[in-house]
Amino acid sequence: MLKMKGMRFPKEIILLCIRWYAAYPLSYRNMEEMMQERGVYVDHSSVSRWAVKFLPMLEKIFRKHKRPVGVSWRMDETYIKVNGQWKYLYRAVDKEGSTIDFLLRAKRDTVAARRFFEKAMRQNGDPEKVTMDKSGANKAAMDAINKDRDVPIEVRQVKYLNNIVEQDHRFVKRVTRPMLGFKTFRTARAVLAGIELMHMIRKEQLSAEKGKDLSFAEQFYALAA
């Protein structure tokens, strides 16, 4: 259950604002105007604080009810602007398109790629194969992981097989575009957790136990209940 004690606005207003912000291509000022049209006067900076505070909490709750993913992974990274500089969002989906995991890193190198793989495997179990592009850093990260394994994970560097994850990046980029970049790494990490959460709900990755017969919005609110 998501706790929101001590907040000036009702829980329903806060959840509505952060759901819209993470699900649709809107800026904080768009949110401020949209709420004013509904008779709710909330400053855009308040929406920002709510998003940073509560979206990661909801994404963490979601992970407890996430459907299992497949064992054939497609991994890639995309660019996210933070404080005027490009950072790297590592992402992976299975061959059906379900999101496996994601991780924002400041650098695009072997250390960052290995952190991503280790996080994804810790959360989702080990894959049987991982498909990636020709990145030497990503391949080196998997080689290092395989070095400590009795049964190595198959690594394929075939670009056309990775189209599914490259296409999946588009949802994240579509929502982040009106935000015009993030001011801090912390803010970026928190809001991206919310965006990925919304994307996973849309892809019906919430378990039947938690999301059966519920609409997209209702599934989001169920996480906070």
Residue-wise DSSP of 29-55: HHHHHHHHHTT----HHHHHHHHHHHH
The total domain count for the chain is 2
In tens, the pLDDT along 81-102 reads 999 999 999 999 999 999 999 9
Query: Per-residue pLDDT tens for 160-203?
Result: 888 999 999 999 999 999 888 899 999 999 999 999 999 999 99
CA 143 to each of CA 97, 99, 148, 157, 211: distance values in angstroms, whole numbers, following the listed order? 24, 23, 9, 13, 38
Q: Does the residue 4 lie in any domain?
A: no
Q: Are 172 and 101 found together in one domain?
A: yes
Range of the domain at 58: 11-65+184-224
Q: Which amino acid is at 64?
A: K
Give yes or no for residue 211 having a pLDDT over 80: no
With respect to residue 18, please indicate whether it lies within any of the assigned structural domains.
yes
- Judge whether 58 lies within some domain: yes
Whether residue 138 sits in one domain with residue 207:
no
Residues 79 and 52 in one domain: no
Q: Can you tell me which residue has the tokens 């019906």?
A: 204
Query: Does residue 207 register a pLDDT over 70?
Result: yes
142, burial (CB in 10 Å: exposed 0-12, middle 13-18, buried 19+):
buried
In a domain, 5, yes or no: no
Residues 131 and 149 in one domain: yes
φ and ψ at residue 195, rounded to 5 degrees? -65, -45
Q: What is the pTM of this model?
A: 0.94
pLDDT single digits (tens) 136-149: 999 999 999 999 89
